Amino acid sequence: MDTLKVRNAADVEQVVRAALASEQPLEILGHGSKRMIGQPMATNAILDLSGLNAVVSYEPNELILTVGAGAPLADVLSLIDSKNQHFAFEPMNPALLLGSGSDTGTIGGMLASGLAGPRRVKDGGARDHLLGAHAVSGFGDSFKTGGRVVKNVTGYDLCKLLTGSWGTLAVMTEVTLKVMPRPESQRTLVLRGLDDVTAVKALTAAMGSPFDISGAAHLPASSRAAPSDALADIGVAGEAVTLVRLEGISVSAIERAASLATTLASYGVAQTIEDDVSAALWKSVRDVARFAATGPLGAWPVWRIVCPPASGGAFGQQLATDTGGDVLYDWAGGLIWAALPPVADAHAALVRGRAEAVGGHATLIRAPESIRQQIDVFHPPRAGVAALTQRVKNSFDPKDIFNRGRLTRRTTT
């Protein structure tokens, strides 16, 4: 398979136009760190964006960063970290879960997948931080959308569509992101021994408090999951732990942690974890270290289920019981990661049926290609939305040149 390494947006246009002329679908690739996610594709050539790696401009005082879509996420994170800034949506690094190596991928991949971490409960997702983009559509033309300012309603907000579209609408070449000040300090309250339903009730109480929670997770006790250094470090290995994070200037984080501990007193006595130890804990939640590809559950399919937060506890507990699987909860119950024992359909019918019943949806984030070939990786939309989705796809990429087949399983070929 040809790999076409582009140097600039004009190269991308050229590649896409040639692909159109010869009707050859392209796989859009950064570093390939999330390549194992999605339906297996029917592409003939690879459009490699890793060469578009320039930092075009970084203005910390404007809270604005403009970079090439192929810029390595790790480099960009260390650049903005040097100014005490970060991406507030806390991008997830799925490498541990997928077993895709140590590379954390590119900015383009971060946006195209839109996988946000624990702080989504407070600061939103990737979609809330992309301000502007230059991209090449399936018409072979470069276009821009959005701008380089945080407040902008000029024209349709195509940035929202590009984020989370898994490279199926257009090839982003340069993007402008909102960066935010990194909180000076963090505290995490740890409650022990709660069952999933009670834990999500505690998280709901925390989120309903005025203490500005920036992370709300629950890790049930598990005899199977990969042992966690982060949990061992705080002396709770093997127990169910419920975690609530508070960030900000130190005096504020400390006081809110104390107030919240009082609010949650009926759920037990909370242990308070500080700064670096707390950060390590949240990193392991963010990256779902429990279900690491190299760990004991590495061979199990992993689902990412998004649902109304308050229904998460009962949903996850029942799912774990009925399948003999393992679950963990982020976003105060709104995000459930489920590693389920391997069966032919990866429990798709069960997971999807129940997710829809509570107003949620489920993505099969990790599974062998043979399974991903046979079931829908992304949650199939209802008929009307599916038709609209197809029209939107056609409006950007009518010849289905980009990442053909990645989002939607082809049942007829």
- The footprint of another protein on residues 291-330 (CB under 8 A) is 306-311
121: CB partners within 8 A, 6+ apart: 207, 213, 214, 215, 216, 331, 332, 334
Among 20, 42, 221, 280, binds another protein (CB under 8 A): 20
Return the structure tokens found at 10.
């004009």
Q: Given the rule CB under 8 A, which of 3-11, 185-193, 229-237, 276-284 is the region that contacts another protein?
A: 3-11
Residue 158 is a binding residue for another protein (CB under 8 A)? yes
Residues 177 and 166: beta-carbon distance below 8 Å = no
Residue 155 is a binding residue for another protein (CB under 8 A)? yes
Report the site for another protein in 224-283 (rule: CB under 8 A): 248-249, 251-252, 255-256, 259
The nearest distance, CB 224 to another protein, in angstroms, is 27
The nearest distance, CB 296 to another protein, in angstroms, is 29
Residue 148 is a binding residue for another protein (CB under 8 A)? yes
Mapping DSSP to helix (H, G, I), strand (E, B) and coil, where does residue 321 land? helix
Q: Given the rule CB under 8 A, which of 96-104, 105-113, 179-187, 191-199 is the region that contacts another protein?
A: 179-187
Report the site for another protein in 116-135 (rule: CB under 8 A): 116, 120-121, 124-125, 127-128
Residue 341 is a binding residue for another protein (CB under 8 A)? no
How many H helices and E strands in the chain? 14, 18
Report the site for another protein in 34-63 (rule: CB under 8 A): 45, 48, 59-63
Question: Which whole-number Å values give the CA distances from 287 to 49, 214, 291, in the listed order?
Answer: 24, 16, 9
Residue 154 is a binding residue for another protein (CB under 8 A)? yes
Which of residues 203 and 346 has its CB atom nearest to another protein in the complex?
A: 203
Helices (H), 147-234: 158-162, 196-207, 229-233
The nearest distance, CB 5 to another protein, in angstroms, is 5
- Phi, psi at residue 156, to the nearest 5°? -65, 145
The nearest distance, CB 364 to another protein, in angstroms, is 12
Among 32, 40, 99, 164, binds another protein (CB under 8 A): 164
Among 282, 337, 396, 402, binds another protein (CB under 8 A): 396
Tokens 């991209």 belong to: 135
Strands 185-192 and 271-274: antiparallel
Residues 70 and 53: beta-carbon distance below 8 Å = yes
Residue 81 is a binding residue for another protein (CB under 8 A)? no
Q: Taking the CA atoms of 117, 123, 124 and 125 in sequence, report the sign of the dihedral they define.
A: negative
Residue 182 is a binding residue for another protein (CB under 8 A)? yes
Which of residues 154 and 370 has its CB atom nearest to another protein in the complex?
A: 154
C-alpha 246/C-alpha 250 separation (Å) is 10
138: CB partners within 8 A, 6+ apart: 16, 20, 169, 170, 396, 397, 398, 399, 400, 401, 402
The nearest distance, CB 26 to another protein, in angstroms, is 10
Which of residues 342 and 398 has its CB atom nearest to another protein in the complex?
A: 398
